Structure 1
Amino acid sequence: MPEMRFRILWPDGVAETCYSPSLVVKEHLRVGGSYEPPEFLARCRVALNIASDRVQEKYGHACSLALGQLARIEEGCAKFAGRPGARVSVEAFEE
């Protein structure tokens, strides 16, 4: 299963490299895309749950790394929810 990383920039200028066990993230985010935190979270939630489900199908267990990454994204988005003009940017995909 091809894993990938995607680099994001939080509204406060902090960069983070995120993990996915599947390339499905490319179907839900785009490089250069800028998302309000609730939309970014919704897109990541769908993508990382699909990725974890794919691991479940192949190996018989959910992907704890994908679910942990989702938890970190949820925490990050919560910090910026409701802030006018806050955007999360996707800087790159790394396969």
Structure 2
Amino acid sequence: PGEQSGGGVFNFKCNSKNGRGGVGDFNIDVSFLAADYNTYGIVYRCVKTDLLTEDNVFLIHRQLNPNVEEVNKILNPYELTLDKFISRKDATCTNK
């Protein structure tokens, strides 16, 4: 599990092995920016490796297909717009 470092930031020390034999250690910092604890959460993630830093904002929602107007109401106070997000609607993930 991650370690909470104060201010709502969780730190994860990770190790990844890819199919080409590459192995890498990296850190992931995760923060919950907002949540109503019933419907949605806005999560910030920053991944740091020796080669790059990548950050993402995720909107997680309990409804499978939330109303676009409702989503925009959630994002507006944070100066975020839905057109800047990449949909994960058709993504498939496996737990291995």
TM-score scaled by length of structure 1: 0.26
More helix by share: 1
TM-score scaled by length of structure 2: 0.26
- Kindly name which structure, 1 or 2, has the bigger radius of gyration based on alpha carbons: 2
More strand by share: 2
